[in-house]
Amino acid sequence: MARKKPTAIDLTEQSVALAEFAAQALVAAEQLAIKKKVVDGFYLDDSERAIAADLPDLSATIKKKLAKKDASFTITDTASIVIALAESLLDGEPLKRLKLIFIAKKLMDCLQSNVVSSVPAKAKKSKPSDTLYQFKITLLSAKPTIWRRIQVKDCTLDEFHEHIQTAMGWTNSHLHQFDIKGKRYGDPELLDDGFEDFDGVDSTKMNLSQILPKTDKKFTFKYEYDFGDGWEHEILFEGSPKKEPGKKYPLCLEGDRASPPEDVGGIGGFYEFLEALADPKHEQHDDFKEWGGDFDPDKFDQKQATKAMKQGLPDWRES
């Protein structure tokens, strides 16, 4: 299998994405007047704190906080660390870059959960139709191809996101959005640019039946998961089959290969991870083996994917 090393362009894009996320979180915090709010869930271990404290672009005040186990961090502090991590991402060895990305993802999740918890509004879902839909989901840029074919009943795009997550094997640990005919669809409680002035369509109120063709004409749109790693998927609508007696939906009909591990560093990092994992003599084999465990890129279990789809995801709004 041909494997691609991460390029300077890949790393620059990741660095920009991390910095933009932190800046947008600060904008949202400013709108909600919570920039000085002490965050919950600042879970960095001693080694991660040491790495963060060594960042050259971090203020002395935050470095001193990182040295104290009982120190508290505000949303502004946390965002500042993410920005400093983004600025240091282009330097160092691959394993160091992976550690920086992993720390940044932890703090991004911390920012996301703390800002979201301060938003009181809860969207109402629209009433779905009784239609069954079939889709092929393909992870773009991955070679060999990673894909799933699923059948789901009409639901909101927010619920469809859950079906994609569980079918693909993602863990719903990061932000997501849809791009449908050039329009952005997402959850305004989560997305970065507008808890009050969201410049897109609310995915919690939009059903599949409202955006798909009324005929079985094939129709494609995009789904992006984890804005840091940038996992883009093509969603192909294949039609509306008849429901089969005795079958319960959603279903994963077929697919191929495992999705990349979370926080692996995008497609370039994924290829680097696979290369090191496949070669016991690779200088980073042991490190990646410890980090990624017994990851098998060829593994896919249709029955397990269907089971995960039926179980669904925990509702973060009720947690």
> Given this model, what pLDDT does residue 195 score?
42
Q: Residues 63, 141: one domain? A: no
| Cβ pair 1, 274 in contact under 8 A | yes
Q: pLDDT > 70: what percent of the chain?
A: 89
- Residue 121 above 60 pLDDT? no
- Residue 6 above 70 pLDDT? no
- Residue 1 above 50 pLDDT? no
- Residue 185 above 70 pLDDT? yes
- Residue 180 above 90 pLDDT? yes
Q: Residues 75, 108: one domain? A: yes
| Cβ pair 83, 77 in contact under 8 A | no
Average pLDDT over residues 190-204: 68
In angstroms, the CA 54 to CA 77 distance is 15
- Residue 190 above 90 pLDDT? no
> Given this model, what pLDDT does residue 126 score?
56
* Residue 145 placed within a domain: yes
Please provide the DSSP assignment of 27-85 as one string.
Answer: HHHHHHT-TTPBPS-----HHHHHHHHT-TTS-HHHHHHHT-TT---BHHHHHHHHHHH
Helix (H, G, I), strand (E, B) or coil at 236: strand
Tokens 């490190």 belong to 287
Helix (H, G, I), strand (E, B) or coil at 268: helix
| Cβ pair 309, 159 in contact under 8 A | no
What is the span of the domain harbouring residue 152? Answer: 132-258+298-314
Q: Residues 161, 309: one domain? A: yes
> Given this model, what pLDDT does residue 179 score?
95
Q: Residues 43, 150: one domain? A: no
Last residue of a domain, one of 63, 88, 116: 116
Q: Residues 252, 306: one domain? A: yes
| Cβ pair 241, 132 in contact under 8 A | yes
> Given this model, what pLDDT does residue 30 score?
81
Cβ–Cβ contacts within 10 Å for residue 294, how many? 7
> Given this model, what pLDDT does residue 29 score?
82
> Given this model, what pLDDT does residue 3 score?
41
What digits encode the pLDDT tens for the residues 64-108?
999 888 889 999 999 999 998 888 877 767 778 888 888 888 898
Give the ranges where 126-213 is alpha helix by DSSP (H): 157-168, 208-211
* Residue 277 placed within a domain: no
Last residue of a domain, one of 55, 87, 116: 116
Q: Residues 139, 245: one domain? A: yes
Q: Residues 308, 183: one domain? A: yes
* Residue 125 placed within a domain: no
**198 confidence band (pLDDT: 50, 70, 90):** low
Helix (H, G, I), strand (E, B) or coil at 269: helix
Last residue of a domain, one of 82, 116, 150: 116
Q: Residues 216, 308: one domain? A: yes
Q: Residues 157, 99: one domain? A: no
How many domains would you assign to the chain? 2
- Residue 5 above 50 pLDDT? no
| Cβ pair 168, 307 in contact under 8 A | no
> Given this model, what pLDDT does residue 125 score?
52
* Residue 110 placed within a domain: yes
CATH number of the domain encompassing residue 209 = 3.10.290.30
- Residue 316 above 70 pLDDT? no
Query: Of residues 168 and 318, which shows the higher confidence score?
Result: 168
Show the tokens assigned to 237.
Answer: 């609508």
> Given this model, what pLDDT does residue 305 score?
97
Q: Residues 309, 184: one domain? A: yes
In angstroms, the CA 178 to CA 231 distance is 12
> Given this model, what pLDDT does residue 92 score?
66
